[in-house]
Amino acid sequence: MPESDKTASAKSEQEWKQDLSPNQFKVLREHATEYPGTSPLNDEKRHGVYRCAGCGQPLYASDTKYESGSGWPSFWDPLPGAVETSTDYKLAYPRTEVHCASCKGHLGHVFDDGPRPTGKRYCMNGVAMSFEPEGKSD
């Protein structure tokens, strides 16, 4: 768990459990990964904004989404200040884990095999996000 998870979130674990579905809780708070190909956001093609399912923070604009073939919604760039990263050592090699900058929820990982202009692939768990179509607001 990143150090920031211990201090930045004002909600208790019990409050997170009440506010999130069981799958959202596993991914956002326990750093799990959803099965590839299971998110309806994989097929989302409308213009809009992808938000953190935990706190509503805007994360990615739809024009940065692309089909990576990975089975998870993928983006080549987050919105400014939307995400933070830390190093994940859960596998045999370190990976860069991506978190919501607001609530510190686990979103996915970023890799250096994405398209131009950034060369990044922000491989996100769909269950960790919601989609707000253009023209709709909270």
Q: Is the pLDDT of residue 57 over 90?
A: yes
Is the bond leading into 22 cis (omega within 30 degrees of zero)? no
80 within a domain of the structure (yes/no): yes
Task: Give the mean pLDDT of 1-10.
Answer: 47
Task: Give the mean pLDDT of 35-43.
Answer: 96
Could you tell me the CA-to-CA distances from 105 to 53, 77, 94 in Å, in that order? 9, 18, 19
Catalytic residue among 52, 100, 103, 123: 123
123 in active site: yes
Q: Is the pLDDT of residue 42 over 60?
A: yes
What domain range is 84 assigned to?
39-133
What pLDDT shows up at residue 9? Answer: 59
Q: What is the CATH number of the domain that holds 87?
A: 2.170.150.20
Structure-token pair, residue 107: 């979103």
Could you tell me the CA-to-CA distances from 92 to 6, 88, 114 in Å, in that order? 25, 10, 22
129 within a domain of the structure (yes/no): yes
Q: Answer whether 45's CB lies under 8 Å from 10's CB.
A: no
90 within a domain of the structure (yes/no): yes
Total domains, the chain: 1
Q: How many CB atoms lie within 10 A of CB 90?
A: 10
pTM of the predicted model as reported, rounded to 2 decimal places: 0.89
What pLDDT shows up at residue 137? Answer: 64
46 within a domain of the structure (yes/no): yes
